[in-house]
Structure 1
Amino acid sequence: MYVYALLRADAEPIVLPPGWQAPLVVIKVGALAAIAEPGLTADGLPTAEAPLIQAVLHHDRVVCEIFEQTTVLPLRFGCCFVSEASLRQYLQTQAALHLQQLDALTGLAEYTIKLKPITPPVNEPELPSTIGGRQYFLAKKQRYQTLQQQQAQQQGERQALLSAIGQTFPYVLPDTEAEAVHTVHILASRTPSDWQAIWQTWQDQCPHWQLSYEGPLPPYHFAPGGRRDLGMRIEQ
C-alpha cells in the first residue's frame, strides 16, 4: 500500500485525484488519516528514468491537489506499507506526533526562493592594440579589481538578503548551493498579505542577483523526514 500524505481525519470531504494504478482511498484511524493507493508497492514503481520521473511528478501532483483542500504532511516518494493493517498500526502509534505537526502547519505553506548570480558583462571592448607594456598590465589589473569588487558586492547582497529572510520568517531552511544557484525554503502564511511588498524590497536590495520563487507549496521540507528523496523506497 503506497502512501502519499497524512492529514486530519476530520478534514472536509476530500476530492481524491486519480492514483498511479488504482483509485486512491482515505484510511482513517482515530483523528489521523492517510491518502493511500492500495495494491501499489515499492516493487511496482518504475525504475527506468523516464517512467520514474512521471511517477515522481504524479506523487507531487497528488500531494499538491490534496494540499489545495486541507493541511497535509507530505510523505516522501516511495513510501509504502506492506499491508493496510501495518498502515493502520502506524497511524495509531504515531497519531500524537503527527497531529501535533499538522496543527503546527495549519494555515502555512512552503515557499522556495532561488538566487542566481547575474554574470557581469563580458562584452567589454578589447583593450586597444596600441596599449602595451606597463599601461596594458595596469588596464588588465583595473579590470580584475573591478570584477573582484562586483563579486564582493554580490556576496554582500546575498548575505544581507539571507539575514533579512531570517528576520522576517521564523522558519527558514537554507539548501545546499548547486551550480551557483542558492536555494532557501521558508514556511509562511498560505496567503501572506504583504508578500509582494516584501518580495519587491528584496529584489531592490539585490541588483546583482536574479530572484525567483515557487509557492505556496506543500511543506515538503518541514514535514516528517524533511526533504523529498526522489529515490527513496520504504517498506513498513
Structure 2
Amino acid sequence: MYTYAFFKSPKHPLQLTEGIAGDLAVIERGVLSALVEPDLEFENIQNDDTQLVQAVLTHDRVICDLFWQVTILPLRFGTQFLSYDRLIDHLSENHEKYLEKLNQLEGKAEYRLKLTPIELELPANPETNGSMKGRDYFQAKKQQYQARLDQQDQQQQELQQILSEIEQVYPNTKLKEGADGIDKLYLLIDKREEMTLYQHLNEWQNQYPHWEMGLGEALPPYHFV
C-alpha cells in the first residue's frame, strides 16, 4: 500500500487531489492517520523512466497539498506497506513517537537557504603583462596565488559567521554542504514568522556581501522528521 505521509486524524474532511495513478484515501488508526494510494501498482512505474520521473513530482505535489491543510510527517518517495494490516500495525506501534514529532512540528515549515559564494576579484594575471619576465613574473604569480588563498579564507570565515548568526536566531537548522561550493541550510520555522525571516535575510545579505543568499518557499519538513 503506497503511503505519502502520517498526520493526526483530521477533525474535518481533507481536500484530496489525484495521486500518482489514481485516487487517494485516508486510513485512520485512532489519533493517527496515513494518506495512501491503495490501488497503485508501484512496480510497474519503476520499470518506466518517464513514469518514474512524473511519479516523483506527483509524490511531492501530493505531500505539499496535504502540508497546507494539516501538520504532517512526509514519507520518502516509494514508501510502501505490504498490506492494510501492516500499515495499521505500524501506526499502532509508533503512535507515541509520531504524535510527539507532530506536536514538535505543529505550525512549522521548512525553508531552504542557498548560500552561494560571490566570485572574488583577484589581482591582474601576470600573463597579461607581456613585459614581466623572470623573477618578477614568478613573484607576481606567487602574490596572485596568495591573494586567492587569503580571499577564499576570508570568505569561509564569513560563512561560519553567517551560520553562527542564523543558528542563534533559528536553532533548528540542518546544513548540507554542496560539492559545487553552494551550501544549503534548511531552517525549521513557524510559518507565521516568514516575514521576519525575510527581514533577517535582508540584514544578513547586506552584512555579508561576499555571499548570495537565496531563500526558497515554505515546504513540508522533509529534513526534520
CA RMSD of aligned residues (A): 1.9
Distance 1:92 1:41 in 2: 25
Distance 2:41 2:85 in 1: 15
Structure number with greater CO (CA < 8 Å, separation at least 6) is: 1
Residue aligning to 2:167: 166
Q: Mark the CA change 1:154 to 1:47 in structure 2 (over 3 Å): closer, same or farther.
A: farther
1:136 maps to a residue whose letter is Y
1:216 matched to 2:218? The reply is yes
Give 4+ residue runs of structure 1 displaced > 6 Å after superposition.
none
Gap regions ≥5 residues in structure 1: 224-236
Residue aligning to 2:207: 205
Aligned length: 223
1:196 maps to a residue whose letter is Y
Per-residue Cα deviation, 1:127-182 (whole angstroms, up to 9, x for no partner): 32112222222222222222122101110111111111211112111124322111
1:191 maps to a residue whose letter is R
Gap regions ≥5 residues in structure 2: none
Q: Which moved more, 1:184-193 or 1:135-144?
A: 135-144
Distance 1:12 1:144 in 2: 64
1:149 matched to 2:183? The reply is no
Q: Which moved more, 1:160-169 or 1:174-183?
A: 174-183
Structure with the larger helix share: 2
Distance 2:215 2:161 in 1: 18
Instruction: Calculate the TM-score normalised by the size of structure 2.
Output: 0.91
Distance 2:150 2:123 in 1: 18
1:170 maps to a residue whose letter is P
Residue aligning to 2:115: 115
Distance 2:52 2:177 in 1: 24
Distance 1:44 1:11 in 2: 35
Residue aligning to 2:198: 196
Alignment of 1:74-89 (within 5 A): 74-89=74-89
Instruction: Calculate the TM-score normalised by the size of structure 1.
Output: 0.87
Q: Percent of counterpart pairs with the same letter?
A: 39
